[in-house]
Structure 1
Amino acid sequence: MSREETYYAAINWNAIEDVIDKSTWEKLTEQFWLDTRIPLSNDLDDWRKLSQQEKDLVGYVFGGLTLLDTVQSESGVEAIRNDCRTPHEEAVLNNIQFMESVHAKSYSSIFSTLNTKSEIDEIFEWTNTNEFLQKKAEMINEIYRNGSALEKKVASVFLETFLFYSGFYTPLYYLGNNKLPNVAEIIKLIIRDESVHGTYIGYKFQLGFNELSEEEQQQMEDWVYNLLYDLYENEERYTELLYDGVGWTEEVKTFLRYNANKALMNLGFNALFPDTANDVNPIVMNGISTGTSNHDFFSQVGNGYLLGSVEAMKDDDYLIGM
């Protein structure tokens, strides 16, 4: 082989093609965390005071979240990796894939702290046989397997920015009521990650969308809204199953519609539902804030545990003219 031929190109971080790749990489690495640094056992007193119905809800919620993070870590990133526009984008996706595995593992840490082995087995049996969970996993994974490059990005954004939030509601609600703060701390860290994942992949979608013809753009937009309708219909049924017993169903649906709008915004589209942040339970909206918790280093490590000072990237940092 002559010296002039290139068999494999080395990634060069000193030659950035898209500055969003670099800024996203820096943000994700700066906010790196592991569940082992969160003292979940400190929540056991709160856990023992919950009713059995509430304990079942928490278990099923985290079972569902584990399933979705498993889909994303095993199938989601691989599905969009082949359409990378830059080598740096692939590096960012590697980071995202690893953190999705950290998220899935974190739920198991919660289970091992709060639940017995038989309870954990029952939670996973419920998760793996629940018709609504399985349907949304199938809908998303089918797109990952057979969709176009842009459709796969839409599925990823909808999963990251919309479908997780029926589960996130529960720990955020308890956090707002001064219960299970360390469990909720893990969820806040996950939300912080998912916010970056959703906006970054949405930005990459917008780049590809803008290269389509006007007719192709309209077809894609119609497909996006139809998919959202189908996912939301299933998510309503899932929410009713989870929350009718505790009386939170309508509040959770409002939260879902608000986050569905956020997912559309990540893709560069207009909101579909009338719901805004002002319509969401303020206790939950306060919990969704990812500011630093006031934790002492030797007893608790909250989401102030960073490798550097991190400023949140605004959603419009990822928006481009459409």
Structure 2
Amino acid sequence: MAENYQAINWNNLEDEIDKATWEKLTEQFWLDTRIPISNDLADWRTLTEADKDVVAKVFGGLTLLDTLQSQDGMSSLKQDIRTQHEEAVLNNIEFMESVHAKSYSSIFSTLNTPAEIDEIFAWTNSNEILQYKAEKINHYYQEGTSLQKKVASVFLETFLFYSGFYTPLYWLGHNKLPNVAEIIKLILRDESVHGTYIGYKFQLGFNELSEEEQADFQTWVYDLLYDLYENEEKYTHLLYDQVGWTEEVLTFLRYNANKALMNLGFDPLFPDTAEDVNPVVMNGISTSTSNHDFFSQVGNGYLLGNVEAMDDNDYLFRFDDEDEE
């Protein structure tokens, strides 16, 4: 006889972190349709063709990676849950990754013509360097062990997205495209929780391995990171050589690669720190948002708080400060 189907009981937790993460994510809920991207059109028209090309391609790449995360990543991780509540959290993450992917289309529909949008997606869906990292991550989603899947997810959330995030943060630091940057800051805030939560779940499983198994697995983790970074160097040159930002973006990538390793409980690999990152970009991260009400268009019955300022520590969600906004 089959076992009875089990109703999820949030009053009986196996892991308090599941509840803390659920509450953090639901507090942060947002939708792209409530952000007035069209207010950035005047800034957009001042950018050079090379600058516009970079913006288009980085957002195309981000759309692809968020699509991968929403369509394959979370469903893969849900095969290896430790608690019912973890699956609920992953369902939330899966939905928000779809929101992230859709957000870039909202940006495209505002800033680009239909023909330009077609070109962006044609490039995204055929570029070999971009496809390599998507296929590499998806390989582990489809064929990897429980721990390998989590590593792939954390590397995607906390490392691979950042070659794209650099661009809107740079422009925000130069007081341009602030509403586009609002979306990126909202996404960053989500990803900081996603990466840290999945990294936490990874550490629970990793700590159950023998010392020899841990050593072997850690070697695999660093090998994968090296492989992804080598590909990311090519991607960064492809995107940023035309505007002269390549070396600065690579520094930013190495900095975030270290944060991905920290999410997994491993030591940083690269010497780069926040002090090495372009201060304009770090200022773009930490600059407080404008005070407009994203939700005023639908009346007072649907009001959410403004996005709070982010700082360097917000890249890593900490489970000991769930009550902080």
On whether the aligned pair clears a TM of 0.5, the verdict is: yes
Between the aligned residues of both structures, percent identity stands at 75
3-state SS of 1:12 partner? coil
Aligned counterparts of 1:91 and 1:293: Cα–Cα separation in 2: 33
Q: Deviations over 1:78-119 (max 9, x none)?
A: 111011111000000000000000000000000000000000
Q: Secondary structure at the match of 2:80?
A: coil
**For residue 132 of structure 1, what is the amino acid of its counterpart?**
I
Encode CA deviations 1:257-306: one digit per residue, 9 max, x unaligned: 0000000000000000000000001111122238554225648xxxx944
1:255 aligns with 2:252: yes
Q: Give structure 1 stretches of 5+ with no counterpart.
A: none
- Range with bigger deviation, 36-45 or 288-297: 288-297
| 1:224 matches 2:229 | no
Secondary structure of the 1:246 match is coil
Aligned to 1:109: 106
The amino acid that maps onto 2:97 is E
> Could you tell me how far apart the structure 2 residues matched to 1:222 and 1:102 are?
34
Question: Equivalent residue for 2:168?
Answer: 171
The counterpart of 2:184, out of the listed 177, 183, 187, is 187
CA distance in 2, matches of 1:259, 1:314: 10
TM-score (norm 2): 0.91
Distance 1:313 1:185 in 2: 16
Q: Deviations over 1:193-246 (max 9, x none)?
A: 000000000000000000000110001100000000000000000000000010
Q: Which residue in the other structure is 1:317 paired with?
A: 319
Alpha carbon RMSD of aligned pairs, Å?
2.2
**What secondary structure, in the 3-state scheme, does the structure 2 residue paired with 1:73 have?**
helix
Aligned length: 312
d(CA) in 2 for partners of 1:85 and 1:293?
A: 40
The superposition leaves residues 29-80 of structure 1 with CA deviations (integer Å, 9 ceiling, x where unpaired) of 0000000110000000001111111111110010000000000000000111
Q: Partners in 2 of 1:263 and 1:240 — Cα distance?
A: 22
Q: Give the match for residue 50 of structure 1.
A: 47
Q: Which residue of 1 aligns with 2:79?
A: 82
Aligned residue runs from structure 1 range 280-319, under 5 A: 280-289=277-286, 292-296=289-293, 298=296, 305-306=304-305, 315-317=317-319
Output the TM-score relative to the length of structure 1.
0.92
Which AA in structure 1 matches 2:162? Y
CA contact (8 A) 1:77 1:96 kept: yes
- Give 1:14-33 correspondences, 5 Å limit: 14-33=11-30
- Residue 155 of structure 2 is aligned to residue 153 of structure 1: no
Question: Could you tell me how far apart the structure 2 residues matched to 1:20 and 1:262 are?
Answer: 20
Give, in angstroms, the shift of residue 309 of structure 1: 9.4
Distance in 1, Cα, partners of 2:62 & 2:72: 15
User: How far apart are 1:186 and its partner, in Å?
Assistant: 0.3
Q: How does 1:101-140 map to 2 (within 5 A)?
A: 101-140=98-137
Contact 1:189 1:290 (8 Å CA) reproduced: no
- Write out per-residue CA displacement over residues 8-46 of structure 1, whole angstroms, 9 at most, x where no aligned residue: 000000001111100000000000000011000000000
Q: 1:314 to 1:264 in 2, by over 3 A?
A: closer
Separation (CA, whole Å) in 1 of partners of 2:287 and 2:144? 33
Structure 2: distance between partners of 1:202 and 1:118? 40
Compare relative contact order (CA 8 Å, sep 6+) and give the higher one, 1 or 2.
1
**Partners of 1:84 and 1:177 in 2: CA distance:** 43
Residue segments in structure 2 that go unaligned for 5+ positions in a row: 298-302, 321-325
CA distance in 2, matches of 1:61, 1:78: 25
Structure-2 separation of matches of 1:175 and 1:308: 15
Q: Provide the secondary structure at the position in 2 that maps to 1:245.
A: coil
